[in-house]
Amino acid sequence: MILPGHIAAAWLASQITHTDTRANLAVSMFPDLVDKPIRWLLRLTPNDRIPAHSALFWVLTSMLAWSLRGRRFAHGWISGYAAHLLCDELNAHLNPGRIYFWWPFKRYSMHVGPTGLSSSLNDFSPYSLAIEGLLTLVALEAWLGRSGARDT
């Protein structure tokens, strides 16, 4: 997924799990903000889904969130991170690439992934873009409905 889908998923996750919305939104793009520059700029990894798209990074950053910001923020971080990984796992079934969830504990045949934004966007199928659009519309409708309920 790309920006709109990840933000929508994080917001929906915060509403469903009743966790800190700020934490959910803060982490909504975190794995990509780590992994994309490592691949696209530094060329240190074979693709743009390691190391932050892994259970190890999820656990370590969740522990850090807990120690720095407390339990409530950490629960939101965990929820938002899970939403990001689930969206990318769904996306990996519709497009080239995959999630290496158990990296570095499991050996994977690595997909040599995109080296920049344009090559990354070329990997998206119409189906994945439609799902992202639908997810974004659902979140927007829920947010607007929630805002409207507050105004009455």
Q: Is residue 122 part of a domain?
A: yes
Q: Is residue 150 part of a domain?
A: no
Query: Which runs of consecutive H residues, i.e. helices, occur in the chain?
Result: 3-17, 21-27, 30-40, 55-69, 71-94, 117-122, 126-151
Look at residue 67 in the predicted model and tell me its pLDDT. Answer: 98
Q: Is residue 59 part of a domain?
A: yes
Look at residue 147 in the predicted model and tell me its pLDDT. Answer: 66
Q: How many domains does the chain have?
A: 1
Q: 25 is in which domain, residue-wise?
A: 3-141
Q: Which of 60, 65, 68, 64 lies closest to 76 in space, CA to CA?
A: 65
Look at residue 148 in the predicted model and tell me its pLDDT. Answer: 63
pLDDT in tens, 60-111: 999 999 999 999 999 999 999 999 999 999 888 887 668 899 999 999 888 7
pLDDT in tens, 133-147: 999 999 999 999 876
Q: Is residue 151 part of a domain?
A: no
Q: pLDDT confidence of 115, banded at 50, 70, 90?
A: confident
Q: Is residue 147 part of a domain?
A: no
Q: Is residue 7 part of a domain?
A: yes
